[in-house]
Amino acid sequence: MTLAEPRLPRFTGWLRPVVDATARIPASVHRKLLFGFLAGALLLVAMAVLSVVVIGRMNERVSDLDRLQEKTSRAQQMLYAVTAQSHYRAMALLTQDDKFNTQIADAKTTFARLLDEMARADQADTELLQRLRTANDTYTAASARVLSLYLAGDLAGATSLHLEEEHPVSHVLEADLRSLIGSADQEIAQAQAAFESDRALLTSAVIGFSALSVAVALVLGFILSWGFIFPIRKMERALAGITTGDFSQRVEVPNRDEFGKLARDLNTTSERLAELFEEQRDLTRQLEETNASLTRASEAKSRFLASVSHELRTPMNAILGFTDALLGGVDGRLNPEQTASLGWVQRGGRDLLGLINEILDLSKIEAGRLTIDPQPFDPRELVEAVVAQYRSLAAQKGIRFTWHDAAGPTEVVLDRQRVSQILVNLFGNALKFTSAGEVDVETGGAAESVFRVAVRDTGPGIPADQHETIFEEFQQGSREEAGTGLGLAISRRLARVMGGDITLESEPGRGSVFYLTLPLDTRAEPVGPQNATSDPDRDGADLLLSVDDDPSVAPLLEKMLAGNGYRIVATTDASTAVSDAQRLRPAAILLDVLMPGRDGRDILRELKSDPQTRDIPVIVLSVVDSADLPDLADGYLTKPVRQDRLLRLLKEHARVPRKAS
């Protein structure tokens, strides 16, 4: 059987030959992704170099303007000093007040200082400056003779000499200074014109290069992503067919990487399953008298096929769900839906090698759970050890780093490694974002039967609208620091798995305080967000119960439904799905069909036959075709799930949850 060929979007169909050529490159997925990320990094480096050149050029123009403006300012001050001397001389001769002679001397000193500064700052006007210096010397000599006659009491002689010699020289100086000011103004106008010309040219260059970089990044991201999505979609369809018993499915892909090997392995598995199916049918015809045994064997076979399909589909769905985000490109302008998926693209890229290695050996595929290992220990010793680990960093930054115990517990039963991981993240973040001041760590909580750690810093603080955002994956609020933004998200999840939490008090300009609160004995606490024992009324959001053995489904649903008034409580244990629904009474149930231990169809039938749960809408999220599902489901979506379709179904079917009696 030949599978329907997945199609590129219409507006990018011309890239298909390029996508196929990329898939045929004999390189691993890891190397192809590294190449894509390296190309993006090189574009960023090129943009940075261009920006440095632009900034340097504009700085030169600004420096020229500053120099010319300073030159004009000095010339104007010198002109004022010359004019002031004439004014003060006239006042001295008229009033015979000696204070004006002092002011004349101050003006001459100011003129001489400004003339020296101008000579040092600008070597181009040597001839004009020398003429000014000569005229000033003549002016100074004439002023000295006038002052001498004035001090001798010969006011008439001093006045005559002032009018004949001193005053005319001041006009010469004023004329030269006005000429200098006019020349400087012309140079300023020319420099401003050159500045505007350079600014327009460099702005156009930056915009053009940015547009080109965005286009290259988008095309490269599209080519790489579709080189992965094509084989995944083909294998997805083949696996759906195998699940329904059609073992003639074959997957042909041009890939010469792990996806190509996976397709070949899938074809081999399909052939082998077909052989097993035929052998079973022959055995059934030969041993009709043992019909009961053959029925059990057939049921075992069906469970085996479902398990094989599911174990293949589980990592494939995770890869596809997080790789689809690459359709929007790694860089460039994104729409809101693409922006929401971008964080998962990055996370999926980091995990891709691990997933591919697991796919190569089907026997190693497993769902994966977050586990803890509670052991008794003294938490104060652990805090002291982590504080000691960061003292050198604090010393390098000149930050005061202190720790004190305020009646903290002496023994807890927690996962020491997980607690240490949380403390490392909290202490490291506090030191990272604090440039001056101190970081203080306080332990306590024994009186409340909890273990509490408060980490206070004098950093820039965090706005109130980002107090929850920074606990999401790949978010750092507005802080301009490098990093993935996963530390706080992982720390809060680890704390909640152990029955605790991390909270924040902060405002801009006043630093931040992170509070870690953990129970004294985590063995007595409910286990994390993957267990269906969470409070259904928390945050006032409508509760949705997710029943899926794939642990990546719940985080993906949380991401899709964030900000839409829904909250996910997940269970990966199919055997407890019905009892969880009876207890939680959710607004809707999101149910997978293929699960080990118990088939989703059985769960659906039991939910609809139970008076306590029959009114709860059930939306099936599965790789199985809708034609193979019972009519009892209220809605159906094929994995990978699209956000708009899921929200539409929830709006149509989800009800307001009622508390269990």
What average pLDDT does range 20-27 have in this prediction?
74
Dihedral over alpha carbons 265, 270, 273, 277 (to 10 degrees): -170
pLDDT at residue 309 is higher than 80: no
> What pLDDT digit, counting tens, does each position of 338-378 carry?
555 554 444 444 333 333 333 333 333 233 345 677 889 99
| 3-state secondary structure (DSSP) of residue 438 | strand
What average pLDDT does range 385-401 have in this prediction?
87
Q: Tell me how far apart the alpha carbons of residues 475 and 492 are, in angstroms, rounded to a whole number.
A: 13
Q: What is the pLDDT of residue 370?
A: 56
Distance of CA 56 to the CA centre of its chain: 29
> What pLDDT digit, counting tens, does each position of 211-228 carry?
888 887 777 777 777 677
Q: Do residues 213 and 47 make contact, with C-beta atoms less than 8 angstroms apart? A: yes
pLDDT at residue 154 is higher than 80: yes
What average pLDDT does range 414-443 have in this prediction?
88
The CB-side HSE value for 472 (13 A sphere, CA atoms) comes to 18
Q: What is the pLDDT of residue 535?
A: 44
Locate 381 and state its tokens: 């010793």
More confident residue, 60 or 405: 405
> What pLDDT digit, counting tens, does each position of 554-589 carry?
888 887 787 788 888 888 778 888 888 888 889 999
Locate 284 and state its tokens: 């059934």
Locate 635 and state its tokens: 């809605």
Q: What is the pLDDT of residue 541?
A: 66
Give the global pTM.
0.31
Q: What angle do CA 612, 613, 618 make, to 5 degrees?
A: 170
Instruction: Return the minimum-mean-pLDDT range out of 100-114, 337-351, 418-432, 637-651.
Output: 337-351
CA distances 533 to 497, 529, 542, 582, 600, Å, are 12, 8, 15, 12, 21
What average pLDDT does range 247-260 have in this prediction?
74
Beta bridge pairs of residue 401: 439
| 3-state secondary structure (DSSP) of residue 33 | helix
Q: Do residues 355 and 368 make contact, with C-beta atoms less than 8 angstroms apart? A: no
pLDDT at residue 274 is higher than 70: yes
pLDDT band for position 205 (cuts 50, 70, 90): confident
Locate 278 and state its tokens: 């035929």
Instruction: Return the minimum-mean-pLDDT range out of 466-475, 586-595, 636-645.
Output: 466-475
Q: What is the pLDDT of residue 330?
A: 39
Strands (E), 524-595: 542-547, 566-571, 588-591
Q: Do residues 525 and 519 make contact, with C-beta atoms less than 8 angstroms apart? A: yes
Q: Do you find a cis peptide bond into 640, omega within 30 degrees of 0?
A: yes
Q: Tell me how far apart the alpha carbons of residues 92 and 604 are, in angstroms, rounded to a whole number.
A: 110
Q: What is the pLDDT of residue 366?
A: 34
Pairing between β-strand 588-591 and β-strand 566-571 as defined by DSSP bridges: unpaired
Q: What angle do CA 103, 104, 107 make, to 5 degrees?
A: 85
Q: Do residues 162 and 146 make contact, with C-beta atoms less than 8 angstroms apart? A: yes
More confident residue, 601 or 222: 601
| Average of per-residue pLDDT values in the chain | 75
pLDDT at residue 412 is higher than 80: yes
CA distances 115 to 22, 109, 181, 331, 505, Å, are 70, 10, 14, 56, 59
